[in-house]
Homo-oligomer: A and B are copies of this chain.
Amino acid sequence: MPFILKEISELLEGKVAGDDQVLITGINSLKEASPGEISFFSDPRYRETLKRTRASALLVSGMTDLYRGPQVIVPNPALAYAKVARLFTPPLPRFPGISKSAVIHESSTIGDGVSIYPFVYVGMGAIIGNHSTLFPGAFIGDRVRIGERTVIYPNVTILQDCVVGSDVIIHAGTVIGSDGFGFVRDGTENVKIPQIGFVQIDDHVEIGANNTIDRAALGKTWIQRGVKTDNLVQIGHNVVIGEHSVIVAQTGISGSANIGREVVLGGQVGVGDHIAIGDRAMVGSQSGVAKSISPGEIVSGTPTMPHKLWLKTVGLIPRLPQFNTRIRELEKKVGMLQSKLEKVE
């Protein structure tokens, strides 16, 4: 469905410089845009691409003379892009109603306008909120509660007693509520500590594909409102992740760690058990967090250190062989100086 540029500008509360009656049929990158499509410019690295773009309109934060078509001036072109992209996003493909090839326990409660694909299993006493969507292979365990407008992608497993909020997205292959990794040694054997808690996922959370989020040993593992996780993230039992935090792919958070709000963890980070990471802290990719991090700190490395110190430090790691040579050289020189000095004395 096409829009007139004026409509788009009004949606964004922006200002059009140039023809606001242009018909916009889609959105694309500067490089790939065809006539009819709108694009966006915010990263100066793309100046050369901007000059050659075939886009019919542009989202910008300030007028640019590198582009001759109409420009919509907005405070945050990236945010404006997200909003315009939503206009052109095809709707979620939803199964009409409840498939006869799904198995839904008679004691469960299914809300209005729920879409349940074939091969979905919904357990005893589960509750699925209005307008939620369950894709094929979704397993919804006994007494699981799911809010409204939530999307559970294919082959997701949500085990018994877990709670998922409204407007949540859980990508394919993710496991919610697997047992926490708790054992106690008895001689040479590892005795399982029963994991009798659950996982709670609050509203507006998005969980990536093939994540694993373990249920608590006791009490709950808690993913708070607005958290976003990337793919292949591991979250241990009794972890708490504060509101609007962001966790990049392949990061692992050990049991009982407490992550604050608006925290950013880079990719492939490891967080030790019982660690606390303060609000708005940031942790660089591949870091190993073995001690707690204060609010607002920006750290990297193993062990974690201030990010700026880490940048200096990793720059020196390839120079260790030089260090070695320089120290050896110094030792030689100092030895020679010592013997010379002895002679002089």
- Bound Cα distance A173, B154 (Å): 10
- Bound Cα distance A315, B305 (Å): 10
Q: Which of A3-11, A58-66, A208-216 faces chain B?
A: A208-216
Q: Are A327 and B324 in contact (CB under 8 A)?
A: no
User: In this assembly, does A202 line the interface, its C-beta being within 8 Å of a C-beta of chain B?
Assistant: no
- Bound Cα distance A185, B244 (Å): 10
Chain B neighbourhood of A217, CB < 8 A: 85
User: What's the tally of chain A residues with a CB closer than 8 Å to chain B?
Assistant: 124
Contact for A318 among B178, B179, B313, CB less than 8 A? B313
- Bound Cα distance A86, B250 (Å): 32
Chain B neighbourhood of A17, CB < 8 A: none
Q: Are A318 and B344 in contact (CB under 8 A)?
A: no
Chain B neighbourhood of A249, CB < 8 A: 181, 212, 234, 236, 252, 254
Q: Are A175 and B171 in contact (CB under 8 A)?
A: yes
Interface string of A223-239 (1 = CB under 8 A from B): 00010101110101000
Interface string of A185-200 (1 = CB under 8 A from B): 1101111111010000
- Bound Cα distance A137, B288 (Å): 35
Q: Are A196 and B89 in contact (CB under 8 A)?
A: yes
Given contacts A103-B118, A302-B317, A309-B321, 17 further A-B contacts (CB under 8 A): A32-B219, A79-B184, A88-B196, A89-B196, A118-B121, A119-B119, A121-B137, A157-B173, A157-B209, A173-B174, A173-B175, A178-B209, A310-B318, A316-B321, A323-B327, A334-B337, A344-B345
A residues at B contact (CB < 8 Å): 27-29, 32, 76, 78-79, 81-83, 85-86, 88-90, 93, 99, 101, 103, 117-119, 121, 123-124, 135-137, 139, 141-142, 153-155, 157, 159-160, 169, 171-175, 178-179, 181-186, 188-194, 196, 204, 206, 208-212, 214, 217-219, 226, 228, 230-232, 234, 236, 243-244, 246, 248-250, 252, 254, 261-262, 267-268, 270, 272, 285-286, 288, 301-303, 305, 309-310, 312-321, 323-324, 326-327, 330-331, 333-334, 337-338, 340-341, 344-345
